[in-house]
Chain A
Amino acid sequence: MIRGWLAVAVFAGLVAMLAFGLTRDPSRVSSPLIGLPVPAFQAERLASADEHFDSTALRGEWSLLNVWASWCTTCLEEHELLMRLSQQLALYGINHRDTRDEARNWLQVYGNPYRASAFDEYGEVGIELGVYKVPETFLLDPDGVIRYKHVGALDEEAYQEQILARIREGRP
């Protein structure tokens, strides 16, 4: 009855896989952009419609590209951390599907951690970056290559384990 036992073993494998599945969030989508240069896009700056935000300029140092909006309540959860990080890291924003007035007002009230924010009124830039759930944060290496993407509010743990670890690794 080796075959019967094999069936049992195979079933055990199935159970193990389902158990692993319990530890995962099935709605999380991995990004195909990891390891690729950040997509080239140009957008108006949030601060002024005359100035341009050019993604190809995001190189030369490690930087974070954070997708945010004034209507996004989860963004407030990570805001404090971002404010702190802005002291140590180049932090850029993409203001997603927002209005200029509300976005600027939001930054005034809660503080502006960004060196600059692109103004993505219709979500066009969001599509280029594969954004599906604001906030999202991309880690870019000095060559402008996307190394990591965090979906949802960034927290200290994710920062330490995912972002800082990668930056340290990249600078031997």
Chain B
Amino acid sequence: MKRATAWGFCLLFAGSACLAVDEAADERYRNLLYELRCLVCQNQSLADSDAELAGDLRRRVQDLIDQGMSDKEIIAHLQARYGDFILYRPPLAWRTAALWASPFVLLALTAWLLLRRIRRGHARASGSLSDVERERLKDVLKRGSD
């Protein structure tokens, strides 16, 4: 029974860890539009915006799909003209490394430090814990500002 329960936990976690993104082929156009930011109404995606430019760009996306371009190629096409700004999903690059990686690096680091501290001293006395915490805040603020 114990083993079964343990397996259950693994399943529960495995199920939650991997996130499959199902994309039906007919939804390509719409999905692409939701990933693209309108440059006129800058808080709307191309799918939502009523601006004329959004209409032009929707037509361009449709044309490119009809020409048989892949999603990647279409995104590159627009990125070449409007830059990263048009992409709601920041591209993976050096200039976005801090954006994508730091939350997870920070998580790993904090978890490791905390677990080490707790295991070592059973959080013996006062300072140890909050020192780690302050360390973390320092990192949080530092990364927020550089």
- A127-B144 contact given A6-B138, A31-B83, CB 8 Å threshold: no
Assess whether A32 is in contact with B145, with CB atoms less than 8 Å apart: no
Give the interface segment out of B23-31, B51-59, B97-105: B51-59
Tell me the number of A-to-B contacts counted with CB atoms below 8 Å.
69
> How long is the Cα–Cα vector from A11 to B144 in the complex, in angstroms?
9
Assess whether A14 is in contact with B144, with CB atoms less than 8 Å apart: yes
Q: Digit string of B33-47 for contact with A (CB within 8 Å is 1, else 0)?
A: 000000110100000
Q: How many of B's residues come within 8 Å of A, CB to CB?
A: 26
CB distance from A61 to the nearest CB of B (A): 25
Report if A130 contacts B (CB, 8 A).
yes
> How long is the Cα–Cα vector from A129 to B39 in the complex, in angstroms?
13
Report if A128 contacts B (CB, 8 A).
yes
- A7-B83 contact given A27-B42, A123-B53, CB 8 Å threshold: no
Q: Digit string of A117-148 for contact with B (CB within 8 Å is 1, else 0)?
A: 00000111011111111000000000000000
- A32-B141 contact given A4-B134, A127-B56, CB 8 Å threshold: no
Assess whether B57 is in contact with A127, with CB atoms less than 8 Å apart: yes
Report if A109 contacts B (CB, 8 A).
no
> How long is the Cα–Cα vector from A31 to B84 in the complex, in angstroms?
9
Q: Digit string of B77-119 for contact with A (CB within 8 Å is 1, else 0)?
A: 0011111110000000000000000000000000000000000
CB distance from A117 to the nearest CB of B (A): 19
Assess whether B145 is in contact with A14, with CB atoms less than 8 Å apart: yes
**Which A residues are in CB contact (< 8 Å) with B124?**
none
- A127-B137 contact given A32-B83, A132-B39, CB 8 Å threshold: no
Q: Digit string of A55-83 for contact with B (CB within 8 Å is 1, else 0)?
A: 00000000000000000000000000000
Report if A97 contacts B (CB, 8 A).
yes
**Which A residues are in CB contact (< 8 Å) with B85?**
29-30
Q: Digit string of A20-34 for contact with B (CB within 8 Å is 1, else 0)?
A: 000000010111110
- A132-B82 contact given A6-B138, A10-B138, A123-B56, CB 8 Å threshold: yes
List 30 contacting pairs A-B, 8 Å CB cutoff, sorted by A: A3-B131, A3-B138, A4-B134, A7-B137, A7-B138, A10-B145, A11-B141, A13-B145, A14-B145, A30-B85, A31-B82, A31-B83, A32-B79, A33-B81, A122-B59, A123-B52, A123-B53, A124-B60, A126-B53, A127-B56, A127-B81, A128-B81, A129-B81, A130-B81, A131-B53, A132-B39, A132-B40, A132-B82, A133-B39, A133-B40
